Amino acid sequence: MSFRGHVYSSGFKLQYIVEGNGVPTIVVGSSLYYSRTFSKNLRNSLKLVFVDHRGFSPPHDCKDISQYNLDLLVDDIELVRKELGFDNVIVIGHSGHAFIALEYAKKYPANVSHVVMMCAAPNFSPEGRAAAEQYLNDSVCPERKAALALNLTRLPQEMATAPEKAFITYCLLMGPKSWFDYNYDATKLWEGVEVNMAMFDYVWGEVFRDIDITENLDKLEAPVLLALGQYDYLIPPAHMWESVRDKFSNLTIRIFEKSSHAPHFEEPELFDKELINWLFNS
């Protein structure tokens, strides 16, 4: 089963791509990017619904940050759920999108059976960024560090050349921080993806910097799976979760040892197995 559609919310065109059979599962983020990163095999067990949020949907020139309020991003997910006629859903969020998935599950607990957070930090605070830098500094791979240093020399010029693609440029040049294979070129994954830079500057730069994920956790009824990559230097190391781990009533953590910032793409067979086992045993 595969089809595409869209909904409009406050003038934003939110595309969704539905692929697979099984339990309805909403994946928050770019419908194009994430539909390319989850395995074909997973579509045999889950009906994956890849949904754009406002950061990936036109109009791309909207600079009104009030339109990127976290509560509005959460309500957009609910709009898509209603549009597709789903009752209970699994909700998945990767990296910063994990915050959106978690907040959705808090606000609409009756509609969520499970929450999957992948490669997420407890927040994007300066302390967290410093911990991530220290984790990279402590690594013993000079080749990875050299590749990153080279990319950092390219970053200012490439972002200045195409400021409307700054988020994608950053993601691509941070490859040594975010892929187990530090030379991996993710360009094809981003083909055709457009971004609202005002959204990313505000949400990633301010909202996620200051977020307190423990707020309203008592309203969260669904179990949570946190999937992390051993070689993920884009976010703080796993031990940063210890300060909030006990705040969750049902949290399972899995660390993938041959992955960085995308275990679902880098170790798809193992990720699928762990995910399916957890879904049907939690």
Size (the chain), residues: 282
Cα dihedral 111, 117, 122, 123, rounded to 10, equals: -90
pLDDT at 125 over 90: no
pLDDT at 196 over 90: yes
Q: Scan for tokens 């709009």, then name that residue.
A: 79
Q: Cα separation of 166 and 159, whole Å?
A: 5
Mean pLDDT, residues 70-85 taken together: 98
Phi and psi at residue 75, to the nearest 5°: -65, -30
Q: What is the per-residue pLDDT for 124?
A: 85
Mean pLDDT, residues 155-180 taken together: 96
Q: How does residue 173 score in pLDDT terms, banded at 50, 70 and 90?
A: very high
- 203 and 236 Cβ atoms separated by less than 8 Å: no
Q: What is the per-residue pLDDT for 242?
A: 94
Q: What is the per-residue pLDDT for 123?
A: 86
Tens of pLDDT along 17-66? Answer: 999 999 999 999 999 999 999 999 999 999 999 999 999 999 899 999 99
Work out the percent of the chain whose per-residue pLDDT is above 90.
96
- Nearest alpha-carbon partner for 35 in 89, 86, 94: 94
Mean pLDDT of the chain: 96
Residues annotated as catalytic (active site), given as ranges: 95, 232, 261
Work out the percent of the chain whose per-residue pLDDT is above 70.
100
Q: What is the per-residue pLDDT for 282?
A: 81
Domain boundaries, the chain: 2-279
Residue 125 vs residue 36, higher pLDDT:
36
Q: What is the per-residue pLDDT for 1?
A: 77
CATH superfamily, with its number, for domain 2-279: Alpha/Beta hydrolase fold, catalytic domain (3.40.50.1820)
Burial letters for 11-35: b for 16+ Cβ neighbours within 10 Å, e otherwise? Answer: ebebbbbbbbebbbbbbbbbbbbbb
